[in-house]
Amino acid sequence: MERQILHIDVNNAFLSWTALEKLDNGEKIDIREIPAVIGGDESKRSGIVLAKSMKAKECGVATGETLYQARIKCPNLQVFSGNFKTYRKYSDKLYNLLLEYTDIIERYSIDECFLDMTNFLAGSSLIKKANEISKRVKEELGFTVNIGLANNKLLAKMASDFEKPDKIHTLFKNEIETKMWPLPIKDLFMLGRKTAPKLYNMNIKTIGDLAKTDKNLLIKIFGKYGRLIWEYANGIDESDVKYIKEDPKSIGNSVTLPRDLRQIEELEEVLLALVEQVTYRLRKTKMLATTVNVQLRTKDFEDFSHQKKLPMPTSNTKDIYNKAKEVLKEMYKDKLPIRLIGARVDGLIKKNEMQLSLFDSKGDEKQEKIDNIIDNLNEKYGYNSITRAGKLNINDIVNIKPKE
């Protein structure tokens, strides 16, 4: 029996949801109806387009470009800032509505879900369900979605990406040739800006061209990835809808600095603030890190990262910060002006699965207690209510707030 999969994609999610929040707060203008974008903050050197209204799209404004470029294309563009809490709220509303249709929902991102409807059709058809969901989301939640219908996740996702907004598309096996193969290769999921030109040079220009290319040749050139894009071009995808939330594999926090830094002491202060956020989130998940990773971006946008194993798995701020400092010191030798710094913990394991070690020291327990006290104070009184001595003047450099 063929699986019955839906992919639900919120149209211009960040902008639509911000529009609803504004209307809810009594504002008269619906920013979905004017040339508008949700953007970063140019004064913080993060001025890019995160979402755009249809009117802005008509001017040629693209997600990811700078607000500066967007304004050139669209001189009367209005820029608004978004809010993660708002996004979370509407994302949850959508999820709860979808739960009325099936338990098997994968929250692929904050604004996308896969639904496995195979055992939940009860005599109805997939298209009927899709129509009902679309209508209910619009009427009950106030925003629109695109829905893709297919027999696997890949095709459902490709289908939801066809004409927008507020549309339902099917992409069944017998439609692949007419609906998907004529599209340019860059439209294929997982085929990005680096691979498209390489295929172009091989005279592979459409998804159909890729589908008809010799699979073994692609594997020879691109390895596993070659197999993947060949299978996707042919509409092959056996992956399941992952409806059980998995443990994270890494947790990170990075920040673009308001000005380039070249003093390691300044970088260390920012690093401490980042590590505090990261380890706080790590402790919330009841996991321990085995590796610490530090990322830097120079003013010329050159990225590099270094990592080191911890002597034993931990979630202590102090241990992880000390390791991060060690990594930073080793990697930051040529004093290039630094635009961005990030800290990430990797190789996470469940805390209760860690073997008890002879090396577990009293020091660890002590650090754990300190972290717990600080976590509790932070939750009660807000971030930065208490801070370690080293961080006292980093707020002059950057103010790092938790995401949620």
Q: Which helix (H) or strand (E) is 149 found in, with range? A: strand 145-150
- Considering the candidates 21, 33, 58, 112, report the single residue annotated as catalytic: 112
Q: Using CB under 7 A as the criterion, what x/- string covers residues 275-314 for binding DNA?
A: ------x---------x--------xx-xxxxxxx-----
Backbone region of residue 160 per phi and psi (left: phi > 0; alpha: psi in -120 to 50; beta: other values): alpha
How many residues are recorded in the chain?
Answer: 404
Which is closer to DNA, CB of 140 or CB of 404? 404
Tell me, what amino acid is at 84?
F
> Using CB under 7 A, which of 108, 162, 200, 383 touches DNA?
108
Asked if residue 195 binds DNA (CB under 7 A), the reply is yes
Least distance from DNA to the Cβ atom of residue 362, Å: 25
Least distance from DNA to the Cβ atom of residue 348, Å: 8
Contacts of 66 (CB under 8 A, 6+ apart): 47, 48, 49
Least distance from DNA to the Cβ atom of residue 110, Å: 6
Pairing of strands 78-80, 36-39: parallel
* 2 carries an active-site annotation: no
Structure token digits, residue 222: 């691109």
Asked if residue 189 binds DNA (CB under 7 A), the reply is yes
Least distance from DNA to the Cβ atom of residue 239, Å: 11
DSSP state of 52: E
Least distance from DNA to the Cβ atom of residue 308, Å: 4
Q: Which helix (H) or strand (E) is 274 found in, with range? A: helix 264-284
Span 111-140, contacts to DNA by CB under 7 A:
111-112
Collapsing DSSP states into helix, strand and coil, what is residue 15?
Answer: helix
Q: Are 171 and 148 in contact (CB under 8 A)?
A: yes
| Residue 318 CB-density burial (10 A; 0-12 exposed, 13-18 middle, 19+ buried) | middle
Span 66-105, contacts to DNA by CB under 7 A:
66, 68, 71
Which is closer to DNA, CB of 309 or CB of 350? 309
Which is closer to DNA, CB of 189 or CB of 383? 189
Tell me, what amino acid is at 137?
V
> Using CB under 7 A, which of 28, 75, 194, 362 touches DNA?
194
Q: How far is CA 277 from CA 87, 217, 257, 274, 395, in A?
A: 21, 46, 16, 5, 14
Asked if residue 148 binds DNA (CB under 7 A), the reply is no
Span 362-401, contacts to DNA by CB under 7 A:
none
Q: Whole-angstrom Cα distance, residue 41 to residue 38?
A: 10
Which is closer to DNA, CB of 212 or CB of 259? 259
Interface segment toward DNA; rule CB under 7 A; list 90-98, 208-216, 251-259, 264-272: 251-259
Interface segment toward DNA; rule CB under 7 A; list 39-47, 134-142, 314-322, 360-368: 39-47
Strand partners, 293: 307, 344
Positions marked active-site: 112
Q: Which residues bind DNA (CB under 7 A)?
A: 40, 42-48, 50, 64, 66, 68, 71, 108-112, 157, 189-196, 223-225, 248-256, 281, 291, 300-301, 303-309, 331, 340, 342, 344, 403
